[in-house]
Amino acid sequence: MIEYSNRRIKLNGGIILDNFRFYVPTDIRFGKDRLASELTQVLDTFGKTVLIVYGGGSIKKNGLYDQVIDLLEKNQNNIVELSGVEPNPRIETVRRGVELCRENQVDVILAVGGGSTIDCSKVVAAGFYSEEDPWEFIVGKNGYQGDALPIVTILTLAATGSEMNAGAVISNMATNQKLGVGGPAMMPKVSFLDPTTTFTVPAYQTAAGSADILSHLFESYFNVTEGTDIQDFVSEGIMRAVIKNCPVALETPNDYDARANLMWASSLALNGLTRNGKHGVWSCHAMEHELSAFYDITHGVGLAILTPRWMEYVLNEQTVTKFVEFAKNVWGIEDENQFTAAKKGIQATYDFFKACGIPMTLPEVGIDEEKFAEMAQQAVAHSTIKTDAFVPLTEADVEAIYRSSLTESSFA
């Protein structure tokens, strides 16, 4: 569990490092060829009845499903399946998983997939013990504080970091809401990270996952808290690793080192290592969640589209120094003029996403301006970006960022 203090102390006009607790007890089993010798032993720690959760069938195409089922059958496990988890997991699928767990008295959940599968599994695990409908504790203000079934994950996509944190994001398409929830018991107990399971991930998803990793780092990096050298320097290093390895993975999908670096970057970007001790909320995620809630687009793609526009929008006399550090330490860009350097860093970010094959305008993913006002209102209503962001954003600000994402952009 990662806990953050709400204490803010002004020091010379800034906000100093918050008190924090950093406790991430997930047992990471990193590397290839570990499932055969370790998976059933891990599962037996929790019980014999296993709910396997997975998505649209990619694990059946690459052979991972057959491998897992074979191991569990030989181990005489009772197997229950929840398949068809959506890329933006739906509350209806969560409810179906809760019912399966209750009907079969499941002992442990095995999530085989990417962040969507793991997120769904977390809320299923909590829903098993909750007297509330899962959507009720998702929309609640205090997260989930109850018990949850133990979760073991086999990660197949480097993106969300859900394999090593206690958070989840669930969509309710009936209400056009995509909301996050988390709780200590929702942290995976064990996560198997085998880079070879990502060899068959399509280029589009590899690029979108890398954009998601970078966004997690950006959102914590651009922050009002001062004196966070450790967090920021670690963030810069992970950013550079993603920028280096994503193009390699796109060109050579079975490059083990590239896939391994992206997989480990995914976990470290959102396990609290680069965020703990910092105050404030994320901006681009709040805005993107509305794009996904209304249009069901790929999360990482939405983040890639919005991020450079947000960077340009919040660049000002107060924030320019941070953007200069970003340009220099991440992209190797220096210029005597601070704003020129900052804009070159923003341009480099945009160009990187575009070079990876990510569509960089909203119309390319089927979004026009029709619902901008409604999405902007919900982005502010469902978060505290109006008061607690790196640069506070109103509904008008969010709508302006959406509007700037309608066409190709140039920043430098």
Q: Using a CB cutoff of 8 Å and minimum separation of 24, what contacts does 128-137 make? A: 128/98, 128/101, 128/102, 133/95, 134/91, 134/94, 134/95, 134/98, 134/170, 135/91, 135/170, 135/172, 137/181
Residues 194 and 218 in one domain: no
Residues 347 and 208 in one domain: yes
Q: Determine which helix (DSSP H) or strand (DSSP E) holds 245, and give its type and residue range.
A: helix 229-251
Cα–Cα–Cα angle for 371, 372, 376, nearest 5°? 120
In this structure, the answer to whether residues 226 and 371 fall within a common structural domain is yes
pLDDT value of position 336 = 97
Per-residue confidence (pLDDT) for residue 7, from 0 to 100: 38
Asked which of 172, 198, 224 is the last residue of a domain, the reply is 198
User: Does residue 219 lie within any of the structural domains?
Assistant: yes
Instruction: Answer yes or no: is 313 within a domain.
Output: yes
Q: What is the pLDDT of residue 185?
A: 97
Rg (CA), the chain: 21
What per-residue confidence (pLDDT) applies to 143? 87
Structure pTM?
0.95
- In this structure, the answer to whether residues 93 and 211 fall within a common structural domain is no
- Looking at residue 6, what is its pLDDT? 39
Q: Is 392 among the domain residues?
A: yes
CA distance 217 to 198: 21
Q: How far apart are the first and last CA of the chain?
A: 41
**pLDDT value of position 141:** 74
Domain housing 157:
31-198
Cα–Cα separations (whole angstroms), residue 373 to 285, 369, 401, 403: 17, 8, 11, 10
> What is the number of domains present in the chain?
2
Name the strand (E) or helix (H) holding 52.
strand 49-53
pLDDT of amino acid 142:
78
My answer on whether 117 and 81 are in the same domain is: yes
Read out DSSP for 141-205?
SS---S----EEEEE--SSS-GGGSSEEEEEETTTTEEEEEE-GGGS-SEEEE-GGGGTTS-HHH
Q: Which of 175, 198, 221 is the last residue before a domain boundary?
A: 198
Q: Do residues 148 and 291 both lie within one domain?
A: no
Beta-carbon contacts of residue 285 (< 8 Å; ≥ 6 apart):
215, 219, 303
Residues 38, 58 within the same domain: yes
Q: Which residues of the chain have pLDDT under 70?
A: 1-14
Q: Domain for residue 7, yes or no?
A: no
> What pLDDT score was predicted for residue 16?
84
Query: Burial level of 159, CB count in 10 A (0-12/13-18/19+)?
Result: buried
The per-residue pLDDT for 56 is 85
Same domain, 230 and 349: yes
Residues 193 and 217 occupy one common structural domain: no
Q: Is residue 178 part of a domain?
A: yes
Same domain assignment for residues 275 and 373: yes
Q: Are residues 174 and 264 in the same domain?
A: no
Q: What is the pLDDT of residue 14?
A: 63
Query: Tell me, what's the pLDDT at 4?
Result: 32
- End-of-domain residue from the set 183, 198, 213: 198
The helix/strand/coil state of 67 is: helix
- Residue positions counted in the chain: 412
**Within this chain, do residues 288 and 365 fall inside the same structural domain, yes or no?**
yes
